[in-house]
Amino acid sequence: MKKILIIEDDLSIAELQKDYLEVAGFTVDICADGEQGLKALMNNDYDLLLLDLMLPSKDGLEILAQIRDEKDIPVLLVSAKKEEIDKIKGFSLGADDYITKPFSPGELVARVKAHLQNYERLKQKFPKNDRPPKELHIRGLKIQSESRRVFVNQREVILAQKEFDLLHYLAQNPNRVFSREELFERVWGLEALGDSATVTVHIARIREKIESDPSNPQYIETVWGAGYRFRI
């Protein structure tokens, strides 16, 4: 049974989320404080995190920044803040989705299920005769498929879950142009439950980490009006 942590200071909202998720077959814990939620997350094994942005003691973005390189699980931000800048900040720190309050409990459950299914799909072992190379080597860039590690000129760089998935997918399909919508569907596995603009944010974050000059990328190129291409 999948285990979910909700970090939300509005207990009426948290309890409603919990009720619907438990009916859907999940085990759910609630923390109403940012510090306590962070400790619970780091000391226990959860399959998904529902994280409010505005929390006492430590806000959601602070928590996300601290955990993203430690916990490889889907993180869904939940907030009443509708400004685009808040979504961009969340996605840039590695959030997998952004849900704006108020929302229907049914939509929440659908998003949770979709992200967990996609996460499991990406984690599955490939059939023996259909496994990708364990390592990809492209002009000083090394991507280790099984350990999910990335090195640039022998220096390891740390990528968030979806950053690695996106880079790995592009590197496995070099010289092919993908639209944002195609990449969003292939990597996130969601057709209607998100915003493909998050691809742009993730591309920018990947470039900051692997490119010597992010404004003049040598790996992931922008094909204006069409999308992105991994160049070899």
| pLDDT of 144 strictly over 70 | yes
What pLDDT score was predicted for residue 151? Answer: 95
What pLDDT score was predicted for residue 194? Answer: 59
| Region of poorest pLDDT, from 79-93, 131-145, 188-202, 210-224 | 188-202
Do 191 and 145 lie in one domain? The reply is: yes
What pLDDT score was predicted for residue 1? Answer: 87
- Residue 133 is encoded by which pair of tokens? 């190379």
Q: What is the full DSSP assignment across 71-94?
A: --S-EEEEES---HHHHHHHHHTT
pLDDT digits (tens, 9 = 90+) for 111-137: 999 888 877 776 664 444 444 557 889
Do 179 and 101 lie in one domain? The reply is: no
State the total domains in the chain: 2
Which is more confidently placed, 143 or 82? Answer: 143
CATH number, residue 141: 1.10.10.10
Do 75 and 176 lie in one domain? The reply is: no
Report phi then psi at 129, rounded to 5: -85, 0
Spatial distance between the Cα atoms of 2 and 193, rounded to a whole number of angstroms? 20
Q: Are strands 141-144 and 135-138 parallel, antiparallel or unpaired?
A: antiparallel
- The residues pairing with 136 across neighbouring beta strands, listed in sequence order, are 143
The pTM of the full predicted model, rounded to 2 decimals, is 0.63
pLDDT digits (tens, 9 = 90+) for 170-189: 999 999 999 998 898 888 77
Q: What dihedral angle (degrees, nearest 10) is formed by the CA atoms of 79, 80, 83, 85?
A: -20
Task: Provide the percentage of residues in the chain whose pLDDT is more than 70.
Answer: 91
Domain that holds residue 104: 3-123
232: amino acid identity, one letter: I
Do 134 and 194 lie in one domain? The reply is: yes
Spatial distance between the Cα atoms of 20 and 18, rounded to a whole number of angstroms? 6
Do 8 and 92 lie in one domain? The reply is: yes
Do 56 and 118 lie in one domain? The reply is: yes
| Region of poorest pLDDT, from 56-60, 64-68, 82-86 | 82-86
DSSP class of residue 228?
E
Q: What dihedral angle (degrees, nearest 10) is formed by the CA atoms of 63, 81, 195, 192?
A: 100
CATH number, residue 39: 3.40.50.2300
Do 79 and 107 lie in one domain? The reply is: yes
